[in-house]
Amino acid sequence: MTNANAHLHSDLFKPVQLGAVQLQNRIVMAPLTRSRAKAGDVPTELAAEYYAQRAGAGLIIAEATQISPQGKGYAWTPGIYNESHVAGWKKITDAVHAKGGRIFLQLWHVGRISHPDLQPGNALPVAPSAIKPDGNAFTESGFKPFVEPRALEASELPAIVEQYKIAAQLSLQAGFDGVEIHAANGYLLDQFLRDKTNQRTDNYGGSIENRARLLLEVVEAVTSVIPSERVGIRLSPISPANDIADSNPKALFSYVVEQLNRYKLVYLHVVEGATGGPREVDGGFDLQVLRDLFKGIYIANNGYDLEMAVKARDRNLADLVAFGRPWIANPDLVERFKAGAALAEFNQATLYGGGAEGYTDYPPMQQS
Ligand SMILES: Cc1cc2nc3c(=O)[nH]c(=O)nc-3n(C[C@H](O)[C@H](O)[C@H](O)COP(=O)(O)O)c2cc1C
């Protein structure tokens, strides 16, 4: 083997079992919001083409998908709460399966990361506490400053837990191989976990146990209706994404992961560092602690390239490695990695919204 092919020894490129399903390799496509759903939050046929082009991933984790109209926080994101969503997603899962791929759906409630323009009846977005995030919402008429959200009543939480449960059932009806509970990146479940955004004084705020309660109720509900070997979870324990922080992330997330072990989830997917930014963060901690605590598959993400991924496997720092941005302009990313080929760069202007341009028109390697 020549030095240029040294990576080919890696079991990154070999099949592996993930609960109920076999993956062709250990390379995952991380969830990527592309804001191209049509009216009624229905995913399009174009999305079927887009995901099928990327079916060479061991596992695709499809983009964050709202579990209810209230859970929406960006223009043109898809939903998973009614029959038209199931029908739309079915075309996508069929297209991916036809090419030998596997696909999970990421279940999403944005909490305060929304805007009245995106909410039913132009209502205020909801959150654990009425604390306005810094930054802007992406609405159909452009970026608009976030507003102060409405603090949820404890009596409203069971209905949200129920929505996750229904969304999980609908996901399997739509042909997904499983679901990923989105508890990362400063959205609703993460807002409950971390103390910058959760200042409640009831059973859902204060102590770590209380702040983890909603997440664990969601996990319990989802695993009560679909097999736990089809349920994964995403955390971003030290990411400041969406203006979030915690005073003791190591204690908080160690507790969360220990509790998650009760539910035998198939994987823990960790955004290591600031999402899409530095892997080392002030006030952070060594995330291998979480991998060591978790009794299941560990998916690492954030800023990986091929060399880092090979190293992570050689040193057994991760079971699977998820890539986000590299998949956008490289639909055949696994083939390019195998060939040691250069990667194409994506066009920033076509990331969110629009049609085929910058979505399904990135060519595979031979043509580029
Ligand atoms: C365009 C874009 C959309 C994203 N959408 C999501 C999403 O829907 N859900 C999520 O958990 N993370 C999302 N992320 C974060 C990625 O999944 C990933 O964590 C991040 O890009 C870091 O991985 P990378 O360095 O391999 O790109 C998004 C990132 C980008 C660039």
Tens digit of pLDDT for each residue in 337-365? 999 999 999 999 999 999 999 999 999 99
Non-local CB neighbours of 147 within 8 Å, separated by 6+ positions = 115, 116, 124, 125, 132
Q: Ligand 1 atom closest to Cα of 271?
A: 19
pLDDT tens digit sequence for 81-119: 999 999 999 999 999 999 999 999 999 999 999 999 999
Residue 173 is predicted with a pLDDT of: 98
* pLDDT beyond 60 at 368: no
CA of 86 to the centre of ligand 1 (A): 23
Q: What CATH number should be reported for the domain holding residue 338?
A: 3.20.20.70
Count of positions (residues) in the chain: 368
Of 109, 182, 325, the residue with max ligand 1 atoms within 8 A of its CB, to mutate for a pocket test, comes to 325
CA of 206 to the centre of ligand 1 (A): 30
* pLDDT beyond 90 at 165: yes
Q: What is the mean pLDDT of residues 149-170?
A: 98
Of 27, 28, 29, 33, the residue with max ligand 1 atoms within 8 A of its CB, to mutate for a pocket test, comes to 33
pLDDT tens digit sequence for 207-266: 999 999 999 999 999 999 999 999 999 999 999 999 999 999 999 999 999 999 999 999
302 lines ligand 1 (CB under 6 A): yes
Residues catalogued as catalytic? 187
Q: Ligand 1 atom closest to Cα of 325?
A: 27
Number of domains in the chain: 1
31 lines ligand 1 (CB under 6 A): yes
30 lines ligand 1 (CB under 6 A): yes
* pLDDT beyond 50 at 313: yes
Give dist(CA 334, CA 321) in Å, integer: 12
CA of 342 to the centre of ligand 1 (A): 21
CA of 284 to the centre of ligand 1 (A): 20
367 pLDDT band (50/70/90 cuts)? low
185 lines ligand 1 (CB under 6 A): yes
CA of 241 to the centre of ligand 1 (A): 11
> Whose C-alpha lies nearest to ligand 1, atom 28?
32
Domain extent for 187 = 3-367
* pLDDT beyond 50 at 21: yes
pLDDT tens digit sequence for 54-74: 999 999 999 999 999 999 999
229 lines ligand 1 (CB under 6 A): no
Residue 44 is predicted with a pLDDT of: 96
303 lines ligand 1 (CB under 6 A): yes
Q: What is the mean pLDDT of residues 313-321?
A: 97
> Whose C-alpha lies nearest to ligand 1, atom 30?
32
77 lines ligand 1 (CB under 6 A): no
324 lines ligand 1 (CB under 6 A): yes
269 lines ligand 1 (CB under 6 A): no
32 lines ligand 1 (CB under 6 A): yes
Residue 291 is predicted with a pLDDT of: 98
Q: What is the mean pLDDT of residues 183-191?
A: 99
* pLDDT beyond 70 at 2: no
* pLDDT beyond 50 at 1: no
CA of 169 to the centre of ligand 1 (A): 25
* Token pair recorded at residue 144: 């608009």
> Whose C-alpha lies nearest to ligand 1, atom 6?
32
Q: Ligand 1 atom closest to Cα of 322?
A: 26
Calculate what percentage of the chain has a pLDDT beyond 70.
99
* pLDDT beyond 70 at 168: yes
CA of 33 to the centre of ligand 1 (A): 7
8 pLDDT band (50/70/90 cuts)? confident
* pLDDT beyond 50 at 192: yes
